[in-house]
A and B are shown apart, each in its own frame.
Chain A
């Protein structure tokens, strides 16, 4: 079955750029989206189709996808961005696949 791998944790200083990666075989040929989940809350879509932002998502959130790695980039990271982030892709065999999640700490 298809798997997506994320680092368990990423740390960033306020105002700096955070990069969260998601790796999978030939992932660049798939469409990737990203969700933000704060403690006790439901996930929120922050990027879809690799790099598109839903309405209401700040411009500091951006995405890219090439080769075997998709990346969620948060520019000018704020304390409110501290959360768990999950990547997700569609696989023809497994259907929906989620990464294991990355805890972003802003310190």
Chain B
């Protein structure tokens, strides 16, 4: 079955760019939507955005000005860049496959998550 694995630095300095990669195994990213979701310590879930295999993207309006999601189909990976980070961006970052239909969506499966701390 499809499995996802996040990778990237666990510590990022304030004002810098957070960069994470999600590697998909057991299936091709050349179908479905692929998303990033984050969870600050002890808090709830926040959707960051998705990329469709065609390259089209959609972002959470609250983060849109700082976010870019891209893909590398040759490596079966997709990536997250979050610019100008602050301590408020400290969170566990998950990648997930998003199933999208007419006015419906859900996330399944999810990666194991990676904690990114923003601190100098």
A contacts, CB < 8 Å to B: 1, 30-31, 33, 35, 42-45, 48-49, 54, 86, 88, 90, 92-101
Give every chain A residue within 8 A of B111 (Cβ-Cβ).
Answer: 42
Query: Are A98 and B46 also in contact (CB < 8 A) when A42-B112, A42-B113 are?
Result: yes
Q: Which of B20-28, B75-83, B100-108 has 4 or more CB atoms under 8 Å from chain A?
A: B100-108
Which applies to chain B's interface (DSSP): helix, strand, loop or mixed? Answer: strand
A98 close to B60 (CB less than 8 A): no
Q: Does B47 contact A (CB under 8 A)?
A: yes
User: What's the minimum C-beta distance from B26 to chain A, rounded to whole angstroms?
Assistant: 15
Interface centre among A49, A96, A100 (most CB of B within 10 A): A96
Q: With a CB–CB cut-off of 8 A, which chain A residues contact B61?
A: 1, 93-95
Alpha-carbon gap, A48 to B99, bound state (A): 10
Task: Say if the beta carbon of B52 comes within 8 Å of chain A.
Answer: no
Query: What residues of chain A lie closer than 8 Å to B105, measured between beta carbons?
Result: 31, 33, 90, 96
Given contacts A30-B103, A44-B110, whether A96 and B44 have CB atoms under 8 Å apart is no
Chain B residues with a Cβ closer than 8 Å to the other chain, count = 22
B110 near A42: Cβ-Cβ < 8 Å = yes
A-B pairs with beta carbons under 8 A, tally: 61
Q: Is the CB of B44 within 8 A of A88?
A: no
Residues of B within 8 A of A35 (CB): 45, 107
Out of B104, B109, B113, name the residue touching A49 (CB < 8 Å).
Answer: B104
The residues of B that contact A92 with a CB separation of less than 8 Å are 103
| A23, B50: Cα distance in complex, Å | 25
Most chain B CB within 10 A, of A1, A30, A90, is at A90
Task: List which B86-120 residues lie within 8 A (CB) of chain A.
Answer: 94, 99, 101, 103-113
User: Which residues, 30 to 63 on B, are CB-close (under 8 Å) to A?
Assistant: 35, 44-47, 58, 60-61
A98:B45 contact, CB within 8 angstroms: yes
B106 near A48 with CB under 8 A, answer yes
CB-based contact B106/A98 at 8 Å: no
- Find out whether the CB atom of A31 lies under 8 angstroms from the CB atom of B103: yes
CB distance from A42 to the nearest CB of B (A): 4
